[in-house]
Chain A
Amino acid sequence: MIFVFLLAPAVASALLALVVRPYRAAVGWANGALSLVAVGAALALWREVLGGRVPVAGPDDLLRADALSTLLAFCVSLVGALAAWLGPGLGDDSWDATQARRFRIFANLFVFTMLFAVTTDNVGFMWVAIEATTITSALLIPLHASKASVEASWKYILIGSVGIALAFAGTVLAYFDFSTLVGRETTALSWTLLREVAPALNPRVLELAFVFILIGYGTKAGVAPMHTWLPDAHSEAPSALSAMMSGVLLAVALYAIVRWQAVVGRAAVSPGFAENVIGLLGVLSLAIGALSLVAQRNYKRLLAYSSIEHTGLICVGLALGPLGVFASMLHLLNHSLAKSTTFLLAGRVLGRYKTAEIEGVTGLLRTMPWTGGFFAAGMLAVIGLPPFGLFVSEFALVRAGFAAGRPLTIALVLALLAVGFVGVLAHLNRMLYGPPPGGVPIGERGHWALVPLGACLAALIVLGLTVPAALDGLLVSIAGIVTP
């Protein structure tokens, strides 16, 4: 039943937007209200999971929500709700009715595919759903058809599809070994079953499969060196979509990797195999993300590169044992909140200044005091400054690194974070102060849209001061799932 409340709102909203034409604001309001239902369902799942139950539903237990699924379902539905309230057609009025309708249809389908991906127990369907996220989101990137956005979406769909196809090849390789063990039924792709029989699987085959899976889903997660599409797509997309892509799509792709890591971790592969590959790619992504931050001239691209940096950070955490998994899952939640908020704020800035170039934006604090202030807070959160949640999760990650006996890796990570920190701070400084360029109207508009964003920032501050017991319990059980 919970699953119905989780998955149905997105489908219903998409259908509604499809049926009602031309687009009316009522569709947006309904969409916003329904999206809150999904958030409620995710919270209900959370309570179930904390109570030690694992809700399942559907034929062959197709849907299953353990702690890991719950965390992701919460992130996705929350960011989905933010996008629903603040996206084209409701909170963002720079789009016409056709564009708003298209956004409502595909963005809701996008949310649905992500929610389905994180709540299905079948790794085959998980793949199908993640592939579908590419299709649904690619159509939204060129909402304004311009050369740059067409280019960005082409790179996105091509690289994304090819990457995800490789993940399918990996899934097939793992399934092949597995089907000889278990037999050829639909349940044969069940993650629960897969994890159970993992110790009996052929380690060499599983290693090969995992490399394919890591490259495949890693492409969607923006793991370097397969990240090249990400800055383009995230910067050219409408801000509400950027918020979803950067905030949760990367997390969903990482989720798929974590699911498989949990399987591989239990198999008889060479010790530390999965951790080593993930950690290596993580450090590489972190390095590329952090170093690119310095050279950016476009603030949406800046945020996109910062997402690569954080993906790398989460990957590094996954390689550091149970403590590391705890830290990186906390970081995933923090990053979802911080990045989607900041992207939505960046959308407001873009709407006012009509340029995404950092040079073109000055005196932000004077033109839009609230937006500017929030944007600054969001940026500081993103680079991991206290009192925001990302500081705590990065700190936990560093501690996990020392506990796992990897001081050198941690030193490298800290150095790269410092580089990114300096890079972002320099750009931010330029944007906030100075005289506003001529022709940009001064004064805040659409105050109410700032309320949810402010709430997110407040939540980040709470997470920076303490990890609530409910969250702690969830993260501990995730660590138990991922590392045996």
Chain B
Amino acid sequence: MDSLFAQLVVLESSLALIFGLVLLWRRGVPAYVNAFTWQSIVLALVAATVAWFGRQRELYVVAALLVLLKVIAIPRLLARMERRFATERELAPYVNTATSLVVAGLLVLFGYAVMRPVVAASELPTRAAMPLAMGLVLVSLFVVVSRKKALTQVIGFLVLENGIALLALLGAYGIPLIVELGVFLDALMGFLVMQIFVYRIHETFETLDVDQLDRLRH
């Protein structure tokens, strides 16, 4: 039973990581939105899996919230922004695609390295997948710093949140529900505010290229 549980979460976490890597490889924003949506579905699946095998009822609520927020609501808003800024593609990120991918691979290696003590300290059946979650966190951080378009950066940030949520699910079967609710609220508000700013950047700069944001240099 435990081994099936372990295999399942590892499988799901690997998928989540692969969807994270899509951000480095594809260029169109629709592909990013798709990848994010699928990753969120996988994340909800992880929550449901942990809820079932780990007997944590409240995680079903978390899974449901994940579906509502990150599979339905946010992708819709993202798609709306995408339609509005259809011409804004991530054509020339700061780091080119091939290098980005190799860096991402190294980051995942690094994730494995830093998570060694954590995995060693854990007795949960989910521990084997924790380095993958840390890898996803590091890769999405890299996405945020290496991409130029505001919209891509937002998606990178959303993927970062997914990575951390995955880490919480795997490491501790999720954080207490009441805190989780607060985190969800923050995630939603944070996203909405970021969305406002994306529109505003487009209004004032007529592009989403943050390279153009260079007025402020000491």
* Direct touch of chains A and B (CB < 8 A): yes
Residues of chain A whose beta carbon lies under 8 Å from any beta carbon of chain B:
122, 124-125, 127-128, 131-132, 134-135, 138-139, 142, 145-148, 150-155, 157-158, 161-162, 165-166, 168-169, 172-173, 175-177, 179-180, 184-186, 188-189, 202, 204-205, 208, 231-232, 235-236, 292, 295-298, 301, 305
User: Could you say which of B115, B121, B160 has the most chain A C-beta atoms within 10 Å of its C-beta?
Assistant: B121
- Which listed residue, A135, A177, A189, touches B190 by the CB 8 Å rule? A135
Given contacts A128-B183, A176-B118, 7 further A-B contacts (CB under 8 A): A135-B186, A150-B205, A165-B161, A169-B137, A175-B168, A202-B117, A204-B118
Q: Which residues of A contact B114 (CB under 8 A)?
A: 208
Q: Is the CB of B197 within 8 A of A138?
A: yes
- Which listed residue, A172, A232, A297, touches B171 by the CB 8 Å rule? A172
Number of interface residues of B (CB under 8 A): 51
- Report the bound CA distance from A236 to B215 in whole Å: 11
- Report the bound CA distance from A157 to B177 in whole Å: 26
- Report the bound CA distance from A320 to B211 in whole Å: 41
- Which listed residue, A122, A162, A168, A297, touches B144 by the CB 8 Å rule? A162
Q: Is the CB of B218 within 8 A of A172?
A: no
Residues of chain B whose beta carbon lies under 8 Å from any beta carbon of chain A:
56, 114-115, 117-118, 120-124, 137, 141, 144, 150, 153, 157, 160-161, 163-164, 167-168, 171-173, 175-179, 182-183, 185-186, 189-190, 193-194, 196-197, 200-201, 203-205, 210, 213-216, 218
Q: Which residues of B contact A162 (CB under 8 A)?
A: 141, 144, 157, 160
Q: Which residues of A contact B194 (CB under 8 A)?
A: 157-158, 161
Q: Is the CB of A150 within 8 A of B200?
A: yes
Q: Least Cβ distance of A152 to chain B in Å?
A: 6
Q: Is the CB of A204 within 8 A of B196?
A: no
User: Could you say which of B120, B153, B189, B218 has the most chain A C-beta atoms within 10 Å of its C-beta?
Assistant: B218
- Report the bound CA distance from A128 to B193 in whole Å: 16
Total CB contacts across the A-B interface at under 8 A: 146
Q: Which residues of A contact B167 (CB under 8 A)?
A: 169, 172-173
Q: Is the CB of B175 within 8 A of A175?
A: yes
Q: Which residues of B contact A155 (CB under 8 A)?
A: 213, 216
- Which listed residue, A125, A172, A298, touches B172 by the CB 8 Å rule? A172
- Report the bound CA distance from A146 to B201 in whole Å: 10
Give the top 5 A-B pairs by smallest Cβ distance, nearest first.
A204-B117, A124-B179, A176-B171, A128-B182, A176-B172
Q: Is the CB of A184 within 8 A of B183?
A: no
Q: Which residues of A contact B120 (CB under 8 A)?
A: 204
Q: Is the CB of A173 within 8 A of B171?
A: yes
> Given the interface contacts A128-B183, A139-B196, A161-B194, does A176 sit within 8 Å of B122 by beta carbon?
yes
- Which listed residue, B178, B203, B204, touches A186 by the CB 8 Å rule? B178
> Given the interface contacts A125-B179, A165-B161, A165-B164, does A135 sit within 8 Å of B201 by beta carbon?
no
Q: Which residues of A contact B189 (CB under 8 A)?
A: 132, 135
- Which listed residue, B123, B176, B200, B214, touches A124 by the CB 8 Å rule? B176
Q: Which residues of A contact B210 (CB under 8 A)?
A: 154
